[in-house]
Amino acid sequence: MRNWAIGFSTALVAAVLISSATAAYAASPTDGVVLKGGGIVFRMNLNNGRYSFDVDSRAVVTAESAAGVILAGSPVSFVRDGKCAASECHLAGTSAAGGRMKLVVKLLPHRAELIAMPLHVGDELRFVTAGATPAYGLGDHAADTHFSTLDNKQYNADVTGFVDDEFLSGQGTTRLVSNFIIFPRQQFAELLVDPSMKIVHCSAAQIVQGVVHAGGPVHFYYFFGDPHQIYAQYLDVRNAEGYRVFKPKYQAFGVGWEAFGALGWNTNHQTVQESVDHYIADGFPLKWIVIGSGFWPSKPDEMHETTSFGLWDHEKYPDPSGLIRHFRDEHLDVLLGLRITFITTGPYSAEGAAKGYFLMKDGKPQEFDGSFWPKLPYFLLDAHNPAALDWYMGLVKRWQDFGVNGWKEDYFYKSLGLRDDKVDPINDRLMQQGQLVIERNGYLSSNGDLQRINDFNYEQNQDRGPVNGLSLAYSGLPLVYPDIVGGTFGENQFATARTPKMETYMMRNAQWAALHSSMSMGEPPWTFSPQVAKVMLQAAKLHAQLAPYIYSNAQRFAHDGYPWTMTPLPIAFPNDPNAYGRENATDRGYEWMIGDALLAAPLYGNDYATAASRDIYLPAGEWMDFDTGKLYSGNQTLKNFEMPVDKTPLFAGGSGVTLEERGGKLLLCIYPVATHASADITLPEGGQPIHIEVNGPPAGTPWTAISVKDREGHTIATQMSKHAFTFSPKAGNSYRICARP
């Protein structure tokens, strides 16, 4: 992790001072810098700091009309300061108000890096260029309420118009934080890496990224190219800066169960076991469960939170090891809630305070308001203190010793000015241990198996969920878990009477959730009508069927950074103008690609109770209705396409190659849609990818049969099932598919 310690060395301070000879060189108002490298051209007018980028002779990032770099509110002009040739230049800057800084510009293939070093620690720093639109990213901030109401806008994945001079976690629903912004139409993206409070503006007129208080060198990146090239560069930067992207684990991609959704606070050994076993008996393919509420001792109040570390309520959970063993025997991973909060009078707080393991203020552990959760005053772990992290992980082991092997990480707070990466070191350590992690807080890292959007309930605006999920995917956090199907009924935040609207909600929510990296069950389906129970089970089984394919694409994401598990259409089809402008509360075109073969098109949004059809856009290619097998040509919008509550909201297209679990077997599925295509699939247990080449008849021609040969030329037997040709694959093999009309 980058060392963000405050202060510069005397040598650096001396180097920043601008000599009189160098200053004289800046006298010419036409003086400028031009760097070239990897097809990128950087230009800066030294007199006013305005800068731009051309890529392959095309203007991509254009200069702002007045200034390019602003230090402590004042525009900066620059002079050369040493090396300035080819693809790297060192500059010294002076603001109109007398502030000083250094700037290094480096060009690499598909990437530019601007490293700014203000002389005065704590100065505000902004990088400014002309605007561009549309724009996507910003993690949770894209769906935060302060943006959804900006200029009377409703929820919209396009973040054009976003302005925030206090960009930090803890504002509203914003806990997974990324200030990465991508402009797929213009083929660039940008990111200023800093876990402290940032500045982000994004409009058609002006783009700004900055830091409110520069605590050291500030690294600002531009990425260029198509989305694959951009996300590959973004991945390299994340890992290099210490914000790691981990390979997730397959178990997390199955269907889960959450106690908080199923039981609220009414959890105990009996209710938890009965609920989970009921789901399994009804055929729900559960793979993991979260005992996320009420397992800690209920008395005294000082114990009443999730950081009771190995201490259970003996009346409610008399045999936690036996309960966990029961679930492990059912092949379920068992997760608990995990937080970094310590009630000040709790059992571990005195030790942590004495050893300096908590965030400090004025020489003593900082005490935080416990008005929300926990409800008593608390300390916060300083996870960036290695000794504190080791101590915390030792406490976590007390639960692991009971058989717990996963964690639903959480911490709710308001704007406390805390760094965005406050929990990242913990999630890093848990992932290194092979624990299953559902992450909720973090900065840039993908250091969990799943990335959870904020609690999503029946009484809320249902456009927030799709926009939140898509925005995480744009931000390089595509392992989206859309929270518990139905929300948290047990909190009593809304009337729970089984109305027709609520029953429609449960079905639409389940169908939408099934198309994400994971989904979980909560409020029992058997408490609703038989139709609702049937559709919820159908959605869960669909997710289990697709889980191997989704996970194969999750492994691809960890390897190359591209959001394969949830690829918004402007990323998958950046040159298609019809792919843009639909992910909003007006059009509700909430569509995305899963890998390169499935198009998710759920009917969801705040009109879920009344809508029966959607306008579905099909990009170029042939597309097959997942339920009926009917073929549609691409580059068209299916107007008012009927979407009953029990319809699978999927189309097969692209390569047409998926990996699915059917009848307890892993099968390669070849949907008859491609003329010429190739695909790479990785099995859940890993190993070398399977390469598939598809050669089909001309577009629009039905397939009647196929032949499949492996690498050695052996013919592989296939079966036709659910509109796809299927066969069992072997890791590392390659297959050539030839289709006949």
Q: DSSP secondary-structure letter at 62?
A: P
Mean of pLDDT values over 502-515: 98
Residue 416's pLDDT band (boundaries 50, 70, 90)? confident
Task: For CA atoms 84, 89, 90, 91, give the dihedral sign.
Answer: positive
Rounded CA separation 200/372 (Å): 29
Distance of CA 598 to the CA centre of its chain: 19
CA atoms within 13 A on the CB side of 603: 23
The pLDDT tens digits of the residues spanning 336-350 come to: 999 999 999 999 999
Instruction: Write the DSSP assignment of 492-558 as a string of letters.
Output: -SS-----HHHHHHHHHHHHHHTTSS-EEE-S-GGGS-HHHHHHHHHHHHHHHHHHHHHHHHHHHHH
Give SS3 for 94: strand
Which letter, b or e, does each residue of 139-167 get, where b requires 16 or more Cβ atoms within 10 Å of its Cβ? bbbbbbeebbeeeebebbbbbbbbebeeb
- What is the percent of the chain with per-residue pLDDT over 90, rounded to a whole number? 86
Provide Rg for the chain, Cα atoms. 27
Give SS3 for 269: helix
User: Residue 467 is encoded by which pair of tokens?
Assistant: 């926009």
Helices H / strands E in the chain, number of each = 14, 48
The pLDDT tens digits of the residues spanning 189-210 come to: 999 999 999 999 999 999 999 9
Q: DSSP secondary-structure letter at 61?
A: E
- Please enumerate in sequence order all residues whose Cβ is within 8 A of that of 380, keeping only pairs 6 or more positions apart, or say none: 340, 341, 342, 358, 359, 366, 368, 418, 422
Rounded CA separation 300/302 (Å): 5
From first CA to last CA, the distance across the chain in angstroms is 56
Question: Is the pLDDT assigned to residue 545 strictly greater than 80?
Answer: yes
The pLDDT tens digits of the residues spanning 138-164 come to: 999 999 865 655 555 689 999 999 999
Give the number of other CB atoms < 10 A from CB of residue 704. Answer: 10
Q: Is 494 exposed, middle or buried (0-12, 13-18, 19+ CB in 10 A)?
A: middle
User: Residue 544 is encoded by which pair of tokens?
Assistant: 């289990």
The pLDDT tens digits of the residues spanning 559-575 come to: 999 999 999 999 999 99
* Bridge partners of residue 85, in order along the sequence: 88
**Domains (range + CATH), the chain:** 10-240 (2.60.40.1760), 255-336+398-542 (3.20.20.80), 657-740 (2.60.420)
**Structure confidence at residue 477 (pLDDT):** 98
